[in-house]
Amino acid sequence: MERLPTELVIHILSYASNKQLKIIGFLSSEYRSLVIPLLFRHICPWSLPARTRDIDGLITCLQNNIRLSSAVRVLDAQHVIGSQHPVEELRRIMEVTTRWEELVLHMDDPRPLAVLDDNTKFQLRRLQCILCHWSTGIRFYHLLLDILPTCTNLVEIWVPGMKEEMIKAMDPAGLATATWVNRLQKYRGLPYPLNYLHNSTPLYHLTCTTGIPSPLLQRLGGRVGQQLLYLHSPLCETGIRLIGNTYLPPSLIPSLFPNLRHVAWFWIMSQPGSIPGDLVRFLLVSASLLITNIQDLLHAKSSGDEATMDTNGILLDAIQRLHFLRQVCFISHHASDVLAKPALKFVGDMQKMSPPSLQAICLWAPNSKLWSYTFKKNGVGSTSDGTQKLWVCETNVPVPSFCH
């Protein structure tokens, strides 16, 4: 690897785990200088138990080694909840690591928000908030909503669990919300703030934690549709039926968001009374019924092979018209660790008819065992009919974060 450009080596090392990076740093003095910035890019000083935590020692170490302190970009304070002096400790670390630009905070502890003065607000570019399933973070959210409009350089935010009612109560006219949401390049959270997007917003990565209503999706297409590369939106669910006004037909997606690279918007569910293992119906018929309802295709049937083929054609046509698509993720509800033949045939049809840019097809089951199937391109092979793309299947691969 000594002949490879340094930038390429750094890119390769960025895919290694911390354990692997430490081993490389110990074994090779030549690569140590490349490994250290990767190891210290994201620091979490409070993750150790209180009895073994040494914040003062870490600060001294960072003060004495400019190579370490200048490498830090992410300050992970999600475990600061166990500290007696979180604001003081976080502020001291910020003063030493002058090039940090991202904060990770836990919503059960609003104290660290006090560290955001004029200087730190100016430096903050990315904010990630962590929320436990059993907590609400009400006090944290109220403070955060006051702070966000004054973070003038914030371009990325992840705020799960925030309630629409809370934003409306604090900002009924939406002026403050419009201020911070129109600065963002990446957003993950509830869809309500998207109502205040302007045409000039730089947003290109959108992940919503709840379903985006169809009218809002269509407005987003007019405002950020040309620049949006990532669109991840779960479909709402009431019992065993999807809510129609939150479902945008696949046929409309390519015209609204023509340059998508990654997309997840099909929720695959079984129909009432379907036979276990009947995965053609299991995968496709529910989407057919929704599309039939929205597009008013009265001639389409609700069951049988004809409806299955109609649905298959609609989905594949939408995927083919997304010329830059690299990955598509389907959320399924199969509970087995073996993918049945009808599902494999469905994936096979997608592989044959997919655009050249498509690199991965993921089937993920959120039930119990979290089985996942990711089909990835693996070169080109020769057949009697000519060349054909080869695909490999990886099982139990970690699912993309937008599925959670």
Determine, yes or no, domain membership for 283. no
E strand segments, 74-161: 74-77, 102-106, 126-130, 156-159
Distance CA 227, CA 221 (A): 9
Tokens of 380: 């080109």
Determine, yes or no, domain membership for 240. no
Pick 193 or 360 by higher pLDDT: 193
Whether pLDDT at 308 is above 50:
no
Tokens of 200: 């000039």
Classified as helix, coil or strand, 359 is: coil
Distance CA 294, CA 242 (A): 12
CB atoms within 10 A of CB 149: 17
Same-domain status, 198 and 184? yes
List, for residues 99-154, the tens digit of each pLDDT value. Answer: 999 999 999 999 999 999 999 999 999 999 998 767 778 889 999 999 999 999 99
Nearest 5°: CA angle at 149, between 76 and 147? 50
Same-domain status, 174 and 58? yes
Same-domain status, 108 and 160? yes
Q: Are 234 and 211 in contact (CB under 8 A)?
A: yes
Determine, yes or no, domain membership for 357. no
pTM of the model: 0.77
CB atoms within 10 A of CB 57: 10
List, for residues 53-78, the tens digit of each pLDDT value. Answer: 788 899 999 999 998 999 999 999 99
Distance CA 305, CA 312 (A): 10
In this prediction, residue 354 carries a pLDDT of 79
Same-domain status, 194 and 111? yes
Same-domain status, 122 and 8? no
Determine, yes or no, domain membership for 142. yes
Distance CA 318, CA 263 (A): 11
Same-domain status, 163 and 23? no
Which domain, by its residues, includes 25?
1-39
Number of domains the chain is built from: 2
Distance CA 214, CA 146 (A): 29
Same-domain status, 182 and 122? yes
Distance CA 313, CA 217 (A): 23
